[in-house]
Amino acid sequence: MELLDRAVVRSLPAVPRGIVQRLSSPYIAGPALADARRAVAALNAAGKLATVDVLGEEVRVPSEAEAVALEYHAVLDAIAADRLDANVSVKLTALGLEIELDLCRSLLATLVADAAARGIFVRIDMEASPFVDDTLRLYRELREVGRDNVGVVLQSALRRTLADVDALAVLRPNVRLCKGIYVEPPEIAFQKRDEIRESFVRVHEALLEAGCYVAVATHDEWLLERALARVAGRDPSEYELQMLLGVREGRASELVEQGHRLRVYVPYGDRWYEYSLRRLQENPALATMLAKATVLRLVPGRSG
């Protein structure tokens, strides 16, 4: 299977943009905010929650970071105006983390304050390992000044994550737990699937023991079943499950019918091509999974 995954990834740069767009279209709401509004409204109608992400990480100049921040404020306007059951997810490189820490700090603080005034939650996403320390630092700073409408993401693939849980425990953080999609060296991250899975289970247990609200973000059925067993008997308001837009939609609907809170990650923006290639190249298994999902969409009665 790993050979197939690598073969799929190697072929991606040679694939015409039109085909990449067709492949990725089920997983991106569209290029404009109006597309995200429609996608979230449809999810809410199906009993699902949403988190909205503006595509455009790794900006290089301050004006780009400021433009992304303005777009996020527009997202907050839309969520409030449409009374959508949604929050926002933001990558700090999109707010200028690679340009200047203070620029990112200012844009993030203003965004979180605007969201707080509207009663909307902000999820600070986690990126590659060089950004972890600054991401957690900015999260802690917001919590220290009383911002409770903000959460963070931890990746089970990183070897440091259990230590991060211990360090954050006093804050009882609201955490999205995922495997992590970034390619990291062996000294920083687990490389084997079973190691990443075992870490995920340990981190989930540690977060629950610390009294944290945990959003379990995975499409891995093995992990999903273990997470469900771990939260069995808890009130549904004490945890949630998360999936990507367009992935395992049938399973997501089953989980909602069973009474679980399920949130769907809804990215949008005109940088769809860069996003699609980066995500697929960073995670060969995801590339193959999405290719399979696309094929299944062509088979009547198969929705994943």
The reported pLDDT for the residue numbered 290 is 53
Tens digit of pLDDT for each residue in 44-74? 999 999 999 999 877 999 999 999 999 999 9
Catalytic annotation, pick one of 125, 263, 271, 279: 125
Domain that holds residue 163: 29-268
- Residue 58 sits in a domain whose CATH number is 3.20.20.220
Catalytic annotation, pick one of 176, 248, 263, 271: 176
Token pair 């404020």 is found at 73
Spatial distance between the Cα atoms of 261 and 78, rounded to a whole number of angstroms: 22
Could you tell me if 164 and 21 lie in one domain? no
Q: Which residues fall within 8 angstroms of residue 293, CB to CB, at 6 or more apart?
A: 26, 246, 247, 248, 304
Could you tell me if 239 and 280 lie in one domain? no
Could you tell me if 232 and 295 lie in one domain? no
Could you tell me if 113 and 40 lie in one domain? yes
Q: Which residues fall within 8 angstroms of residue 14, CB to CB, at 6 or more apart?
A: none
282, amino acid identity: E
The reported pLDDT for the residue numbered 45 is 98
Could you tell me if 166 and 189 lie in one domain? yes
CB atoms inside a 10 Å sphere around CB 145: 9
The reported pLDDT for the residue numbered 304 is 41
Could you tell me if 22 and 75 lie in one domain? no
The reported pLDDT for the residue numbered 183 is 86
Tens digit of pLDDT for each residue in 164-217? 999 999 999 999 999 998 889 999 999 999 999 999 999 999 999 999 999 999
**DSSP code at position 262:** E
The reported pLDDT for the residue numbered 270 is 86
Could you tell me if 36 and 22 lie in one domain? no
The reported pLDDT for the residue numbered 302 is 42
- The stretches in the chain having pLDDT less than 50 are 1, 4, 301-304
Structural domain count of the chain: 2
Could you tell me if 148 and 186 lie in one domain? yes
Spatial distance between the Cα atoms of 297 and 42, rounded to a whole number of angstroms: 19
Contact 82, 45 (CB under 8 A): no
Q: What is the largest CA-CA distance in the chain?
A: 53
Could you tell me if 19 and 111 lie in one domain? no
Could you tell me if 19 and 99 lie in one domain? no
Could you tell me if 287 and 141 lie in one domain? no
Could you tell me if 162 and 287 lie in one domain? no
Is there a catalytic annotation at residue 125? yes
